[in-house]
Amino acid sequence: MKTNLLKMKKVLFAIAISASIFTGCSSDDDAPVIKEPVVGEISGNLTTSKTFAYGNYTLKGMVKIQSGVTITFEKGSTITADKTNGETGLVVLNGGKLIAEGTVNEPIVFTEKSKVAGSWAGIIMYGDAPIVGLSSATSATSEDGLSLSYGGTNAAHNGGSLKYVRVEYAGQVITSQTKEHNGFSFYSVGSGTVLENLVSYKGNDDGFEFYGGTVSGKNLISYGNGDDAFDWQDGWKGQDNTNWFAYQTGVANYGMEVEAKSVNNAFWPKVTNITLKRAAGTTTEGQGEIQLDAIQFKKEGNGDYSNIVIDGYVNQTTPTAFNGGAVQILDLTTYTNQVVGGKIKLTNVKVTNTPNIFVTGGAGFTVSAASFPGTNWGVNTTATGASLAAGKWATVDGVNLLANL
């Protein structure tokens, strides 16, 4: 009797173990969860805070995030404009916030249906950080056609967080200087805003433009944009910028255009780890002025730049002949106050495939290494430039944007 009872217990125990094994290995438990993207349209004024779940969205019109509103996009989302719907862009008004935090392999992509450069307005953000405009003005009017006033006293303004975000085919220009757009446009944006791992891809104007403010950008890629890769004015003074990569191809102007509205500021932006490359055969957008240098300083533009790699800024013979160079100083005032005055610092600079180190844009002065006081100019053949991690955030249609880094 005891023997039979013992045998029965063993059988029941074996059955229980088998059941637990099969239950633990069920296909329901081990199968990967596939999250289907939602589909929707985004338009009009956004007046209520909202999170847009992972999905594919159509952006229609100049969509404006109002003051006091936070709009969040989940990682991996794609937001597509369509130029046939008219002027389209995403605008973060002063007081509003945009939270778009992708990952290295699940970026958030803002693109355009036709994949033609200049088809939409890109991302535009406003803040109330300080600016120094023309004649030292503390405010100015935007050049994006919205004609909004920007500039304030809140250096720590926070417009949100953009991480692993790519903007494609933007840079729509409707009227030059009064209604034009970039990939990313930052109007008096403050240092509380996070800008990290951003790509501006094949736009028709600047990749990134800063209109004053104190915000900084880390790990920025400007690839194939038709005007300048990086551009700023209005006394922008971001202090924590690093790992900037510009690859200019087809039609392009400066790698970095640096100006300060003709105001001799006592401050300057700081950028470390910069790579500026120009592909063979690239020509300038406009033919009325020299526009093919790696870095141009004009209208009292200044700054502190270090660990720089410059490559491929050669002379242009057609359609208009210009000399290409690593550094252009456009005007005598900038030369006197900023170069000789010690407010332009370029250190650890490696220059290759570029016939001219310095280019003078005006009459009455000649730029050379001796023009820079102290250690404000320094060549280093081991400079490394930008350092960026590969991943889907930097890959478009199977092309690795970092292949030329």
State pLDDT tens for residues 155-203: 999 999 999 999 999 998 776 666 789 999 999 999 999 999 999 999 9
Instruction: Single out the residue of 208, 299, 300 nearest to residue 254, CA to CA.
Output: 208
**Strands 194-201 and 140-141, bridge-based pairing:** unpaired
Tokens at 204, concatenated: 């028709």
Question: Exposure of 162 by Cβ count < 10 A (0-12 exposed, 13-18 middle, 19+ buried)?
Answer: buried
Structure confidence at residue 141 (pLDDT): 97
Structure confidence at residue 34 (pLDDT): 76
What pTM did the predictor assign?
A: 0.91
Residue 17's SS3 state is helix
Structure confidence at residue 291 (pLDDT): 79
For 17, other C-beta atoms within 10 Å of its C-beta total 10
pLDDT category at 45 given cuts 50, 70, 90 is very high
pLDDT category at 84 given cuts 50, 70, 90 is very high
Domain map of the chain by residue range? 41-239, 240-394
Tokens at 55, concatenated: 């999905």
Q: Which residue has the higher pLDDT, 263 or 86?
A: 263
Q: Answer whether 124's CB lies under 8 Å from 181's CB.
A: yes
pLDDT in tens, 242-292: 999 999 999 999 999 999 999 999 999 999 999 999 999 998 887 566 678
* In the predicted structure, residue 224 carries a pLDDT above the cut 70: yes
Residue 43's SS3 state is strand
The Cα 166–Cα 51 span in angstroms is 19
Instruction: Single out the residue of 384, 346, 234 nearest to residue 299, CA to CA.
Output: 234
Q: By mean pLDDT, which of 25-34, 228-237, 353-362 is the weakest? A: 25-34
Q: Answer whether 201's CB lies under 8 Å from 166's CB.
A: yes
Residue 28's SS3 state is helix
Dihedral in degrees, nearest 10, Cα atoms 94, 96, 97, 98: -90
Sign of the Cα pseudo-torsion (121, 168, 192, 134, in order):
negative
* In the predicted structure, residue 125 carries a pLDDT above the cut 70: yes
Sign of the Cα pseudo-torsion (107, 110, 113, 114, in order):
negative
Dihedral in degrees, nearest 10, Cα atoms 396, 401, 402, 405: 180
| H helix or E strand, kind and range, residue 4 | helix 2-24
Instruction: Single out the residue of 209, 300, 302, 213 nearest to residue 261, CA to CA.
Output: 300
The Cα 83–Cα 204 span in angstroms is 14
Tell me the residue type at 64: K
